[in-house]
Structure 1
Amino acid sequence: MFSKIPFLQPQRLIIIHSNGIKNFKPPPNFDHIDFPEKPKLRFLDKVPILPPNVKPPKMQKKLKLMRGPEEVHNTLLHKQYGIIALGGGRLKWGHFEMIRLTIGRKMDANRMFAIWRVDAPWQPITKKGQGQRMGGGKGGIDHYATPVKAGRVIIELGGKCEFKEVKDFLHDVAMKLPFKAMAVSQEILDKQKEQERWEEENNQNPYTMKYIIQNNLGGCYRWLSPTDMKYFCKYV
């Protein structure tokens, strides 16, 4: 026996066309924007330049340079667009070149500009050769890097353009960085701050992470690190 399939009636497409005066928003005004002398990102040195009679110094790891929030370079100077770090990490020279080449190729230099908001690689990272024994002193300098904290603005991009024009290639660059990052505009940053303020004022749950850590609920002091006690597990 074959099951009966109900006959499907073709649906009629009704198009309603309304005539009248259209109200479109005026285009944004970019007369207040000041362009720098060089619109593209400048080339950064792979190795810091030292005097000829100075031996390149070595450093400790200093993980504190990547932990916690960025307290200085966390706002957009030109109040337009940029890439902001969501976590800590190190930028190598290859990441700087990837950012410079990608943005220089995708942006329109006639009406856009981009500037660096991070320093060139300056922190020496040491490494021992393959198969060496333990001991023997600190290894030689392998490369240089730039430590970045959460909330640090990596680059800024502005000019006579809207966010929808630059969002795609800024997002592509942010996804290739060695830490979590995102493409932002000034409106996005303002909304995030307003959302954080609203959540803090309207929170009805008294058991926040700050309350739990400060009161040692469940004996959490046994497995929390000093960084967790300082930032209340907000920055990993």
Structure 2
Amino acid sequence: MWCLKTLTQLCKNSLTSANTNYTCIAGLKYFPPPIKYENIEKVERPKLRIMERQPQHPPNLRPPKMQKRLRYMRGPELVHNELLHKQYAIVATGGGRLRWGHYEMMRLTIGRKMNINTMFATWRVPAPWQPITKKGQGQRMGGGKGAIDHYVTPIKAGRVIVEIAGKCEFVECKGFLQQVANQLPFQATVVSQQMLDEQKLDEERLARQNQNPFTMKYVIQNNLNGCHRWLKPVDHKWFGKHL
């Protein structure tokens, strides 16, 4: 085993024998200016509030049942697809349903991991409101619609789920937001306002520089190669972008 003194002596001998000249140069380092958080307002409750498990109906009203209505999950989100605080958020990239357990998972995980002195979180989705019915195991077919089992919130692609804002950078909150996004029942991603702006500019640039006239929209609208025989109605509406 080589001791530290022996290794140091060998290094000195090798540097001396090599006759290497070293010149010390003092350079000017560049550090980016700190981010100014001038328009950030501190809220009273920085953590996410508890969502109700089911909607509250009047005592004299029987809870209404509902059909599946899968159209509530298909297609892009056209309203709640932008960030209000212009900082960071979890955005759905596919359709699905949120149950009450997913709300609690997001609330507890974000509440434990985020710094309440510099950050605050806000919901961008309502509490579960759509009833899902279910029949008991072993029952015969027929007999009417089953009883309400639980309530969900349908989500479309592009919907903002949770927003994080405050005096913080993207690196500070990306870790626990990605942990939450991985446990959701649909595909979701963590984004910042800068990422959304760049994505929008890239889409506009690709559409502007496209030289191929046979886009998916042109092909479907003109029934090229008889594609109307096997296309779905949702393809005629969104031109193959959403399932």
With normalisation by structure 2, the TM-score equals 0.89
| 107-116 or 206-215: bigger deviation | 206-215
Match of 1:27 among 21, 34, 38: 34
Is 2:215 the partner of 1:208?
Answer: yes
CA distance in 1, matches of 2:36, 2:30: 18
1:215-230 → structure 2 map (5 Å cutoff): 215-230=222-237
- Shift, 1:19, TM fit: 2.0
Q: Is 1:78 aligned to 2:85, yes or no?
A: yes
Give 1:175's aligned residue: 182
Report the Cα distance in structure 1 between the residues aligned to 2:223 and 2:24, rounded to whole angstroms: 65
Q: Cα distance 1:24–1:60, how it changes in 2: closer, same or farther (>3 A)?
A: same
Asked if residue 69 in structure 1 is aligned to residue 49 in structure 2, the reply is no
- Identity of paired residues, percent? 64
Matching of residue 166 in structure 1 with residue 173 in structure 2: yes
Tell me whether 1:145 sits opposite 2:163 in the alignment: no
Distance 1:19 1:38, change over 3 A: same
> C-alpha separation between the residues in 1 aligned to 2:62 and 2:239?
41
Larger Rg: 2
Tell me: CA distance 1:167–1:18, structure 2 relative to 1, closer, same or farther (3 Å).
Answer: farther
**Given the alignment, which residue of 189, 199, 202 partners 1:195?**
202
CA–CA separation in structure 2 for the residues paired with 1:145 and 1:19: 62
Report the structure, 1 or 2, having the larger helix content: 2
Q: Partners in 1 of 2:25 and 2:168 — Cα distance?
A: 32
Q: How many residues align?
A: 223
Shift of 1:35: 2.1
Q: Deviations over 1:88-147 (max 9, x none)?
A: 111001110110011001100011000000000000001111111111100111100000
- Aligned residue number for residue 15 of structure 2: none
Q: Over residues 26-50 of structure 1, what are the superposed CA-to-partner deviations in whole Å (9 max), with x where a residue is unaligned?
A: 1101122012221000000111111
Unaligned runs of 5+ in 2: 1-17
Superposed CA RMSD in Å reads: 1.5
CA shift in 2, pair 1:108/1:217, >3 Å: same
Return structure 1 stretches of 4+ with deviation > 3 angstroms. Answer: 15-18
Seen in structure 2, the aligned counterparts of structure 1 residues 132 and 197 have a Cα distance that, compared at 3 Å, is same
